[in-house]
Amino acid sequence: MNIYQISFISVLCGLGISACSRTSTPLTGNLPQEWIVTQKNKARTLKLTSNSHEETGPDFFEWKNPSPEADEKIRSVFTLQSAGLDRLVQMETIRKSLFQPLHGGPGGEPGEAPWHLSNFVAEFGVTVQGIFGNLMSDGGFAVKGIWRKKGQSLKKIESNPSYKVQWDTHQSRNQQLEPVIQSILRTGLVKKEDSFRKNIDRASGRFEKIVRVLEANPPIPSGWEVSRFALILSIDASGMVSPAVSVGSELLVRFDWDRPREITQKKPYPATFDLSDQDQNFLKVIRALGAQMGSTEQELNELQGQGINLEHFHVGLAVSASGTIGLVSLGGSVDGMLYYSRPGQIETIQLQSTHSDYFALNTNIPVIPSQLQKETDVLLIQPDSFRKGIKRAIKMGSYFARMGIASNSSDWSLDEIETEFEVALSGSIGVVTVESEPHLALEFHLEGDEK
């Protein structure tokens, strides 16, 4: 008997703050230009083909720390969020309502399942000039911080399923999905039921196909392991179902696969289907990404001593016209997001490095640029370059974490920092700017004080 979970996660409300504005020129306090993937680099990388690569110049991987002025500016942006939240706590009228039980919950009885403010999430952006600041509506975030009210747990929406159903393998996929379909139809937001049923079946079939391959991937020794695969679908009134990764759609359905804890190298699942060549290639990519991150243990251990723990990272996946699965912009047409966990975050059996490590570390990383998505070409990042880029990304991500930690107040604690990066085909990785789209996201957990 297989267990699936369905959850109706959240109602999300939109509210806008508008502003009068004038354009500006950069001030001091910018991030180093080496932290940004420049247009020049992008132009060069797009000339690459699957059979060639370009030598990377020293400038690609040169490391520069931000200036003291930049440190001060960036720290002040984080501190402002804490200060704003502290001000709420200090306001007597708010304190009475914001952090204490507000209303009756589902049962309608006062005191039952009370609503209260739990977390605060703020997104920050980076311009191409390297200016770091609070993000406005247009543009993708480079850094996301999650503050938790001390004394309360962090409520992460996407990991909070509340409803479970038994998914019987003897039932067809349509039968298994029926409770979800019924729930969606009852919202009244989908007008064309037939079209919706056909499209959701097709989308769930695509999800299942990738998941079946993921389950065929036993944990890699000394590498990071795939812990989750997520596909977010947007549904419109006409029944259209399409991949979605950002806010804005009225109705979203999220499919999540979490790696079963019982999958280990010593105890794989019983075999039921054959892996095609494409499946095998997909597995190579999965293992290569895990192995690359696994090669950064020394850097991560040093960060751990500073209370900064890189626990997860995720990448966007897309299937090329030729069927190759590769990295794609997280904001582009994504066929799913692949989440990795550091060994120890999920139950795996740790073994010594093996030949599989060696091959995984020397596998090219395929990238499917959105510009070429309709063509058969798949671009490749050299493994050595990718590894250098990953190490730089960890340095950059941990920098923001250090700046954020300094913003902790007596009432709020910055618990998590997610930093998003743009990956150039040269292997160079830079903080994503408001003008670009990220390919890779690092998720840091910060050890704060608890009061």
Strands 325-328 and 336-341: unpaired
Nearer to another protein (CB atom), residue 46 or residue 91: 91
Asked if 131 is part of the footprint of another protein (rule: CB under 8 A), the reply reads: yes
Nearer to another protein (CB atom), residue 70 or residue 393: 70
Nearer to another protein (CB atom), residue 13 or residue 43: 13
- For the chain, the distance separating the N- and C-terminal CA atoms, rounded to the nearest angstrom, is 44
C-alpha distances in Å from residue 17, one per residue of 119, 124, 145? 20, 16, 20
Asked if 151 is part of the footprint of another protein (rule: CB under 8 A), the reply reads: yes
In terms of DSSP H, where are the helices of 295-369? 297-304, 355-361
* Token pair 């991560």: residue: 300
Angle between helix 383-405 and 68-90 (nearest 10): 50
The correct pick among 215, 335, 347, 411 for binding another protein (CB under 8 A) is 215
Asked if 354 is part of the footprint of another protein (rule: CB under 8 A), the reply reads: no
The correct pick among 166, 171, 183, 304 for binding another protein (CB under 8 A) is 183
Site for another protein in 2-31 (CB under 8 A): 2-27
Binding segment (CB under 8 A) for another protein, from list 38-46, 144-152, 284-292, 339-347: 144-152
Binding segment (CB under 8 A) for another protein, from list 106-114, 304-312, 354-362, 403-411: 106-114
The correct pick among 51, 169, 352, 371 for binding another protein (CB under 8 A) is 169
Shortest distance, position 376 Cβ to another protein, whole Å:
25
Site for another protein in 260-299 (CB under 8 A): 260, 268-275
* Token pair 């995984």: residue: 360
The correct pick among 105, 307, 323, 331 for binding another protein (CB under 8 A) is 105
Identify the burial level of 270 via C-beta atoms within 10 angstroms of its C-beta, where 0-12 means exposed, 13-18 middle and 19 or more buried: exposed
Is the CB of residue 402 less than 8 Å from the CB of residue 302?
no
Backbone angles phi, psi at 58, to 5 degrees: -65, -25
Shortest distance, position 360 Cβ to another protein, whole Å:
17
Site for another protein in 44-73 (CB under 8 A): 73
Shortest distance, position 252 Cβ to another protein, whole Å:
4
Shortest distance, position 249 Cβ to another protein, whole Å:
6
CA–CA separation, 115 and 97 (whole Å)? 10
Nearer to another protein (CB atom), residue 57 or residue 110: 110
The correct pick among 158, 168, 193, 375 for binding another protein (CB under 8 A) is 158
Nearer to another protein (CB atom), residue 137 or residue 371: 137
- Give the DSSP letter string of 56-112: PPHHHH---PPPHHHHHHHHHHHHHHHHHHHHHHH-HHHHHHHSS--S--TT--TTS
Shortest distance, position 305 Cβ to another protein, whole Å:
16
For the chain, the maximum distance between any two Cα atoms, rounded to a whole number of angstroms, is 67
Asked if 173 is part of the footprint of another protein (rule: CB under 8 A), the reply reads: no
The correct pick among 126, 379, 381, 432 for binding another protein (CB under 8 A) is 126
Estimate to the nearest angstrom the gap between the alpha carbon of 47 and the chain centroid.
28
Structure-block tokens of residue 339: 């989440």
At position 427, the amino acid (one-letter code) is: G
Is the CB of residue 166 less than 8 Å from the CB of residue 3?
yes
Binding segment (CB under 8 A) for another protein, from list 204-212, 293-301, 358-366, 401-409: 204-212
Site for another protein in 358-417 (CB under 8 A): none
The correct pick among 332, 433, 443, 446 for binding another protein (CB under 8 A) is 433
Q: How many residues bind another protein (CB under 8 A)?
A: 127
Query: Taking CB under 8 A as the rule, which mask of x and - marks residues 218-257 in contact with another protein?
Result: ----------------------------xxxxxxxxxxxx
Q: How many CB atoms lie within 10 A of CB 79?
A: 16
Site for another protein in 75-104 (CB under 8 A): 76-77, 80, 83-84, 87-88, 91, 94, 97-98, 102-104
Shortest distance, position 416 Cβ to another protein, whole Å:
12
The correct pick among 38, 50, 211, 356 for binding another protein (CB under 8 A) is 211
Q: How many CB atoms lie within 10 A of CB 307?
A: 15
Shortest distance, position 328 Cβ to another protein, whole Å:
19
CA–CA separation, 79 and 408 (whole Å)? 8
Binding segment (CB under 8 A) for another protein, from list 107-115, 376-384, 424-432, 437-445: 107-115
C-alpha distances in Å from residue 133, one per residue of 31, 73, 303, 401, 414? 11, 9, 24, 15, 17
Nearer to another protein (CB atom), residue 55 or residue 274: 274
At position 129, the amino acid (one-letter code) is: Q
Asked if 157 is part of the footprint of another protein (rule: CB under 8 A), the reply reads: yes
C-alpha distances in Å from residue 125, one per residue of 37, 60, 169, 356? 15, 22, 45, 39
